[in-house]
Amino acid sequence: MMVAPVANGAAIAAHSSEGDLVKAEEAKQQANKDFKEKHYAKAVAGYTTALQYNPNSEILYSNRAFAHIRLENFGSAVADATKAVELNPRFAKGLYRRGDAYYALGKFKLALKDLKAAVRLTSKDPDLRRKLADCEKEVKRLRFEEALAVPEEIEVPVAQTIDLASMLVEESYTGPRMSGDNEKGYQLTLDFAKAMLEHFREQKSIHRRFAFQIILQAREILKALPSLVDVPVAQGGHITVCGDVHGQFYDLLNIFKLNGLPAEDSPYLFNGDFVDRGSFSLEVILTLLAFKVLYPQHMHLARGNHESKGMNKIYGFEGEVKHKYNAIMADLFRETFCWLPLAHVLDGRVLVVHGGLFSQDEVTLDDLRRIDRYREPPEEGLMCELLWSDPQASEGRSPSKRGVGVAFGPDVTRRFLAANKLDLLVRSHEVKDEGYEVDHDGYCVTVFSAPNYCDQMGNKGAFIRFNGGDMTPQFTTYTAVPHPDVKPMAYASAMGGIWGF
């Protein structure tokens, strides 16, 4: 039995007055312009205005979904694309948008269903067919991994399978060398770290022996830490907090130029999302781990939502590591990321987490300390929300625009801080035009340290300095610096090919 298709958006829009349709088209054209100029938040606002005048346009919902995808608000993108498909079940672009958003969330089976449906309607689009092929590969990979899965209790850690002694450093290797030799063992020094940074600046790799050693040593240090780390800040001392870096190595070098290298008298906390998106993620994470080994009490690293297996497969880090080294190193990073702490408390007064707060009240710092973090991030619960949640302007809580975590209001922040005798919440996880933003009456600060994110957002980067004693945040902002002509997502799976207008 054939079912007649729902009328398309143009027919339904007849319920809007002619004047309303004119206003909707004007708002749409301005939103399209904002989108093309990469002002994605303005584009969302523009499409929202257009929808107020023409609420039954599948094209407007689809366009707004596209802007949400660019903002990484994948939950909102799914909702908008779903509305577009409800208005017109044969609207291929709506199916594609929803499939793309599901793909970005790692929900490959749902993505595959939508992409197949879109291909049936628009079979000749090459970008859509490439995305479908990539999604099919991911679904096959998941089924293969499920078939070969080893029970967790008998799985051998990757770290235990690596034999550093067998990795000889050839005489022909001309890069920086750790002190010592293969027979007596190598030692990571500050001189090596500095030479490594210059080597990376020239787009060269260090020997795999040294790379593996950095990761293994850092893994052991991280493994010994609790899920919530208390960080003292002495009177007269300070600490610098950085947000997302996302593989932008040359901007990381600029942070060090502006603020100094990590050292005992120059401590840092990098608040997650070190990797993915940017195509120098390996250089970023090896740099941060090397300084963690050098200064374990003064270089602090928190887990972000992108320090996870699923994100790394989609957004480039796994592909980059395999390209520059091998799959074993990618597995070792996956294992090491599971040992990253989830939260830090500075001087007993400032909580620093990557994402934000929780879907329930009465969460305590001791609850965070008790989280069993050695796992891939779950889709709900305290660990998930620490990595994924975002603040909102309105009171209370709302479903997350990302499709994971929760949106929490000023009242939630105030209650949590008061109950845990804290002064301030610092988090990252979101691009901000100025590199930082102060919300919730001054009690919630977002810091983002990747300027001109993905070479397209035009935002500044920022870091925060807290001085011991008053612990008042002091912000430094900066713009992006030039980098070699390697595009973001160069090693990612096929995330491109999203349709234009």
Three-state SS sequence of 99-125: HHHHHHCCCHHHHHHHHHHHHHHCCCC
| DSSP state letter for 391 | E
| DSSP state letter for 405 | S
pLDDT in tens, 224-247: 999 999 999 999 999 999 999 999
Q: Is 163 helix (H, G, I), strand (E, B) or coil?
A: coil
The residue segments making up the domain with residue 219 are 208-478
The angle subtended at Cα 491 by Cα 192 and Cα 223, nearest 5°, is: 50
Q: Are residues 331 and 225 in the same domain?
A: yes
Q: Could you tell me which of 488, 496, 1, 3 has the C-alpha nearest to residue 247? A: 488
Residues 301 and 243: beta-carbon distance below 8 Å: no
- CATH number, position 274: 3.60.21.10
Q: Is residue 401 part of a domain?
A: yes
Cβ neighbours around 45 below 10 Å, total: 17
Q: Are residues 89 and 227 in the same domain?
A: no
Residues 48 and 17: beta-carbon distance below 8 Å: no
pLDDT in tens, 321-339: 999 999 999 999 999 999 9
| DSSP state letter for 407 | E
Q: Backbone dihedral region of 38: left (phi > 0), alpha (psi from -120 to 50 degrees) or beta?
A: left
Q: Is residue 201 part of a domain?
A: no
Residues 270 and 481: beta-carbon distance below 8 Å: no
Q: Are residues 117 and 221 in the same domain?
A: no
Residue type at 244?
Answer: D
Q: Is residue 398 part of a domain?
A: yes
Q: Is residue 171 part of a domain?
A: no
Tokens of 74: 């994948």
Active-site entry in 39, 68, 306, 440? 306
Q: Could you tell me which of 155, 195, 154 has the C-alpha nearest to residue 177? A: 195
Choose the final residue of a domain: 148, 171, 187: 148
- CA distance between the termini of the chain: 34
The angle subtended at Cα 227 by Cα 277 and Cα 244, nearest 5°, is: 20
Tokens of 50: 């257009």
Q: Is residue 449 part of a domain?
A: yes
Could you give the CA distance from residue 489 to residue 247 in angstroms, rounded to a whole number? 10
Q: What pairs with residue 238 in β-bridges? A: 467
**Domain count for the chain:** 2
Could you give the CA distance from residue 216 to residue 65 in angstroms, rounded to a whole number? 42
Choose the final residue of a domain: 100, 119, 148: 148
Q: Are residues 329 and 454 in the same domain?
A: yes
At 15 the pLDDT is 64
Q: Is 306 a catalytic residue?
A: yes
Q: Are residues 52 and 125 in the same domain?
A: yes
Q: Is residue 198 part of a domain?
A: no
Show contacts of 481-486: CB within 8 Å, 24+ apart: 481/250, 481/251, 481/253, 481/254, 482/250, 483/248, 483/249, 483/250, 483/251, 483/280, 484/203, 484/250, 486/279, 486/280
Q: Is residue 181 part of a domain?
A: no
The ranges of the chain with pLDDT < 50 are 1-14, 495-501
- CATH number, position 48: 1.25.40.10
Could you give the CA distance from residue 355 to residue 247 in angstroms, rounded to a whole number? 18
Please list the helix, strand and coil fractions of the chain in percent, rounded to the nearest 5, in that order: 45, 15, 40
At 3 the pLDDT is 34
Q: Is residue 298 part of a domain?
A: yes
Choose the final residue of a domain: 105, 124, 148: 148
